[in-house]
Every structure is written in structure tokens, then in C-alpha cells.
């Protein structure tokens, strides 16, 4: 592999600057300059996506970029663009562009738009920093920046419910950050480093420090598990659905929960190493916790009439597919986990944007109000339907690909019980998504007949286009799963590196 980490440090900084660099400008541009603010937002998002696409090609050829400097004695600030970082950045950059377009249309007449887009940019910059972090110390810095920058978005509306949700969000996420800090410091003292490297950094310490390493692992997983919404650390997520739809999409598909899941990957694969984690008896309990979270989230979703709360509990369940695949210690399951990082993001952001369209255009926020909405907003509901069917695991959609590899990986790891978890979860997915689709497509609008259907709302392209675009990606990611540079193909590249180097 070509190593040019010291000669081309500008590229990681440029990728960060496309979001962090424009945040101060967003705060300064008031609504009288809304056109300029929108242009800068979209230009920065498009530039980031172009840089990440170019970077993906370079990393695929074996070239990595990065930078490093000592911030504190023995603690380096380190960025690097390894294949796992590129996977997460590709998701973030693609969905940032689409979410920015959606947010501009959604917030067209709303208050505090400059503040929103300023913190929105910081959130995306923090997410990219998490992706490129070369060690736990750098990861922690961006992880906490993400927490602080997301809070103003959660409380954006300023209502009593929003402020309550924001307080709970801070309690959970700052507590998680504290556990991550303690685990990082302890590991640094014990191992002398917190670098992310394939196969991990603690293998040589297991003979003398097995118990200590187990405790540190619990601290680290709990720290990132808060954002990954592992039970019982998940309560902040459904309550945070009082935030505007673009924020909900950001929390579930681009930034917060994905940062937690990504952190679990880094800890298991590149701090401990999958073989060491398995040898210390850590992967079994982690798999069990993920399985409990998968079933629990699905059961709770069944009882929710509020659309966004049902989607939130669905996220609690679906994100733990990633943790389960990591913990199975099987290369095939790891492919499923990594692919689901992308696939779940595409499916869930589609559903939240669609839910936002229903709320803004038809004032529909509850499932019991969704009768006939497919006739009134066919494009929005077609996008929602594709994503919902993907979540259930209907072939050839993206969700089916993830579940196929997770199931095959569980058999390869001699963990057949996982098949029951996946089947049970899929049945529960069907139980809470199919009634929505039935209401939307097969029942007339409440109080209406075919002769008296309400007029279809005229939804702008900035709100209609993004969910339809992400729904198309849900289909393409499944149908073309085996194509070069598909999410699945890239995950195979990552897994070969993590398991074979």
C-alpha cells in the first residue's frame, strides 16, 4: 500500500472544511441572504461528495491520505482515509447533499434557518471527522463535537417538548461520552496507544490484563452504544422525534446512530481485533445484547401510532443488525453488517423525509390518519413503500442483501439461533410496516369517496425529489449489489482487510 500520510495532509482537511468551514458563514447569513446561504450549502455538499468519490477511487487503488500531530504528550490528533472511513464518508456525503436539498425546501418559511444550517454543517463535519479518526482520542473529540452540535437541532422548535427531549438527549449522550473518555484514557495507559489498526492493538496484553481489557471494552461499547441506541441506552431516540424531519433524518441515517454503530466497528475490529475480542469472551454477550435490541425495538414499534416514533423504534431495531453482524465474528456476517450501515441509512432517510412531507403538506403525523395518502401523494408514498419493503427484507431491495449475508454469516459461525432472530424481526417489520402501506394504498381518504377525493397537494421538488432519489438508491443497491464499487463490493474489500491483514 502506498503510504503518503505525511506528504498530502491537505485532503482530509479539505473534506472537513467543506462542512466545518462553511458553518460560521451559515450563522452570519440571515434570511435576507437566503439564496446565497442555499447556494453555499449546496455547493459545499456537492464538493464534499465529489472529493469523497475521487478519494474512494484512490483508496480502492491502495492509496491512503491523512495527517497526524501531537496535541498532548502521548496523544496524537490523527486523521486517515482507510476503506472503512471511506464507506462512512460516502454515506455521509451522499445523504448530506440530499438532506440539504430537502431541508432547504422543508424550512423555506421556518424561523432560525441560519442557526439550523450552521449547526447542521457542524454535525456533518463532526461525522466526517469520526469517519476519518485514526485513533480513539481523535474519535472522541469529534464524537463529543457531534453531541454538542446536534443538541440545538433537537431543540430547534423551542417548544417544551423539544427542550425536554434535548435535555434527555444531552444526559444520555454526555454520559456515553464520559464512559468513552474513561475507557480511552485507561486503554491509553495500559496499551500505550489508542490507534485504529487491523487486528487491533491489545492482543499482546490479554495474558496479563484479561479482566481489565474486558472492563475497558464494556466502557467503550457503552460509550458508543448510547448513540447506537442499544437497549437500555436507547430512550433518548424516540423522544428526540419532536425535532423537524430533516433533523430526524440526520439522527437516524447520517450522523448520530450511525456514529455509534461505526464506533462499535472500530472498537471491535481495530482496537481489540475480532479474534482477541472473541478470545476474551466479549463477542457473545455483545451479540446477545444486539439480538435483544433487535426484537425489543420491533415490538415497541408495533404499538406506536405516531409515524416518526414508529420509525424511531424501527431504527433501534435495525441499527443493531450492524452490531449483531460485527459480534458474530464471521467474515460473511461482517459483510452484512457493513452493508447494512449503508442500506439502513438509505431506507430510513427515505422514510423520514416521506413522513416529513406528509406532516407538512397534509398535516398527517399519525398512522391512523394515513388512509388514502398514496392517492394524494403517490411519489412520496411510493418512496416510503420501497423503503419499508426493503426494511422487511423483500428481494431484490437493499435490506434483503444485508439480511442474506447476516443469515449466511450466522450459519458460518455456527450461531444458528441468529436465523430465528432475523426471521422474527422480519415478521415484526412486516407487522408494523404493511398496515401502513395498506392504509395508504388500499383505503380511501377518511370521509372521502372516489368522487370526492381531496385535491393533491403541490409539493415542491426540493421536498419531493430527495426521498424519491434515496428510494431509487434502495432499489439500485439491491439490484446491482454485485457491481464494482457498490456498497456490498466495498464492504467485501474492507472485510478482507480486517480479517486477512
* pLDDT given at position 1: 38
Residue 5 has pLDDT above 50, yes or no: no
* pLDDT given at position 108: 73
Contact between residue 313 and residue 301 where contact means Cβ atoms under 8 Å apart: yes
Residue 80, classed as helix, strand or coil, is strand
Whole-number Å distance between alpha carbons of 195 and 450: 63
156-207 tens-digit pLDDT: 888 898 899 899 999 999 999 999 999 999 999 999 899 999 889 999 998 8
Cell of 134: 485514526
The fraction of the chain above a pLDDT of 90, given in percent, is 69
Residue 66 per-residue DSSP state: E
Contact between residue 273 and residue 203 where contact means Cβ atoms under 8 Å apart: yes
DSSP string, 1-65: -EE-TTT-THHHHHHHHHHHTTHHHHHH--GGGHHHHHHHHHHHHHHHHHHHHHHHHHHHTTEE-
105-125 tens-digit pLDDT: 888 767 778 888 899 999 999
**Higher-confidence residue: 2 or 45?**
45
Please report, for the chain, the start and end positions of each structural domain, with discontinuous segments joined by +.
343-446+457-501
Residue 2 has pLDDT above 50, yes or no: no
Cis peptide before 232 (omega within 30 of 0): yes
Q: What is the pTM of this model?
A: 0.92
Comparing 19-23, 219-223, 289-293, 369-373, the range with the smallest average pLDDT is 19-23
430-465 tens-digit pLDDT: 999 999 999 999 998 875 555 455 667 778 889 999
- Confidence grade of residue 8 (pLDDT, cut at 50, 70, 90): low
Q: Residue range 302-308: average pLDDT?
A: 94
**Higher-confidence residue: 62 or 133?**
133
Distances (CA, A) of 498 to 84, 265, 298, 336, 367: 10, 11, 31, 14, 43
Burial class (CB in 10 A: 0-12, 13-18, 19+), 484: exposed
- Confidence grade of residue 484 (pLDDT, cut at 50, 70, 90): confident
Q: Residue range 415-428: average pLDDT?
A: 96
Whole-number Å distance between alpha carbons of 496 and 180: 28
* pLDDT given at position 447: 58
* pLDDT given at position 7: 43
* Residue at grid coordinates 469529534: 142
Burial class (CB in 10 A: 0-12, 13-18, 19+), 10: exposed
Q: Residue range 234-243: average pLDDT?
A: 88
Whole-number Å distance between alpha carbons of 203 and 336: 26
Whole-number Å distance between alpha carbons of 366 and 343: 25
Summary mean pLDDT of the chain: 90
Contact between residue 93 and residue 48 where contact means Cβ atoms under 8 Å apart: yes
Contact between residue 353 and residue 102 where contact means Cβ atoms under 8 Å apart: yes
User: Pairing between strand 63-64 and 2-3?
Assistant: parallel
- Confidence grade of residue 332 (pLDDT, cut at 50, 70, 90): very high
Q: Residue range 318-324: average pLDDT?
A: 96
Amino acid at each position: 500500500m502506498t503510504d503518503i500520510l505525511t506528504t498530502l495532509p491537505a485532503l482530509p482537511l479539505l473534506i472537513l472544511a467543506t462542512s466545518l468551514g462553511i458553518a460560521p458563514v451559515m450563522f452570519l447569513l440571515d434570511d435576507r441572504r437566503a439564496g446565497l446561504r442555499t447556494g453555499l450549502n449546496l455547493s459545499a455538499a456537492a464538493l464534499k461528495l465529489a472529493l469523497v468519490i475521487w478519494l474512494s477511487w484512490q483508496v480502492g487503488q491502495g492509496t491512503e491520505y491523512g495527517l497526524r500531530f501531537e496535541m498532548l504528550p502521548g496523544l496524537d490528533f490523527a486523521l486517515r482515509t482507510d476503506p472503512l472511513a471511506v464507506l462512512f464518508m460516502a454515506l455521509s456525503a451522499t445523504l448530506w447533499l440530499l438532506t440539504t436539498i430537502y431541508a432547504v425546501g422543508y424550512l423555506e418559511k421556518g424561523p432560525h434557518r441560519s442557526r439550523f444550517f450552521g449547526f447542521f454543517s457542524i454535525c456533518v463535519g463532526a461525522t466526517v471527522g469520526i469517519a476519518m479518526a485514526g485513533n480513539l482520542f481523535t474519535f472522541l473529540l469529534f464524537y463529543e463535537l457531534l453531541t454538542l452540535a446536534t443538541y440545538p437541532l433537537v431543540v430547534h422548535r423551542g417548544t417544551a417538548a423539544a427542550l425536554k427531549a434535548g435535555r434527555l438527549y444531552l444526559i444520555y449522550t454526555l454520559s456515553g461520552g464520559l464512559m468513552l473518555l474513561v475507557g480511552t484514557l485507561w486503554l491509553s495507559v495500559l496499551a500505550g496507544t489508542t490507534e485504529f489498526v487491523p487486528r487491533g492493538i491489545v492482543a499482546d496484553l490479554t495474558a496479563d490484563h484479561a479482566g481489565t481489557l474486558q472492563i475497558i471494552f464494556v466502557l467503550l461499547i457503552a460509550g458508543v452504544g448510547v448513540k447506537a441506541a442499544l437497549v437500555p441506552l436507547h430512550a433518548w431516540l424516540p423522544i428526540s422525534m419532536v425535532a423537524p424531519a430533516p433533523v430526524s433524518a440526520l439522527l437516524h441515517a447520517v450522523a448520530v446512530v450511525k456514529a455509534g454503530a461505526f464506533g462499535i466497528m472500530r472498537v471491535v475490529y481495530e482496537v481489540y481485533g475480532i479474534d482477541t475480542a472473541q478470545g476474551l469472551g466479549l463477542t457473545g454477550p455483545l451479540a446477545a445484547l444486539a439480538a435483544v435490541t433487535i426484537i425489543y425495538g420491533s415490538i415497541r414499534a408495533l404499538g406506536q401510532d405516531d409515524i416518526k416514533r414508529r420509525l424511531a423504534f424501527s431504527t433501534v431495531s435495525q441499527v443493531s443488525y450492524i452490531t449483531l453482524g460485527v459480534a458474530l465474528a464471521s467474515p460473511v456476517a461482517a459483510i452484512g453488517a457493513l452493508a447494512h450501515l449503508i442500506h439502513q441509512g438509505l431506507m430510513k432517510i427515505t422514510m423520514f423525509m416521506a413522513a416529513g412531507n406528509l406532516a407538512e403538506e397534509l398535516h398527517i403525523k399519525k398512522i391512523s390518519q394515513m388512509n388514502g395518502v398514496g392517492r394524494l401523494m403517490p411519489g412520496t408514498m411510493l418512496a416510503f413503500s420501497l423503503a419499508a419493503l426493503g426494511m422487511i427484507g423483500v428481494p431484490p431491495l437493499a435490506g434483503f442483501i444485508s439480511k442474506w449475508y447476516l443469515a449466511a454469516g450466522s450459519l458460518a459461525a455456527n450461531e444458528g439461533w441468529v436465523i430465528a432472530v432475523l426471521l422474527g424481526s422480519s415478521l415484526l417489520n412486516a407487522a408494523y410496516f404493511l398496515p401502513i402501506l395498506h392504509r395508504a394504498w388500499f383505503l380511501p381518504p377518511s370521509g372521502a369517496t372516489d368522487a370526492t377525493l381531496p385535491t393533491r397537494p403541490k409539493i415542491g421538488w426540493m421536498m419531493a425529489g430527495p426521498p424519491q432519489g434515496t428510494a431509487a438508491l434502495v432499489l439500485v443497491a439491491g439490484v446491482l449489489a454485485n457491481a464494482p464499487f457498490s456498497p456490498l463490493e466495498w464492504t467485501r474489500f474492507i472485510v478482507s482487510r480486517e480479517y486477512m491483514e
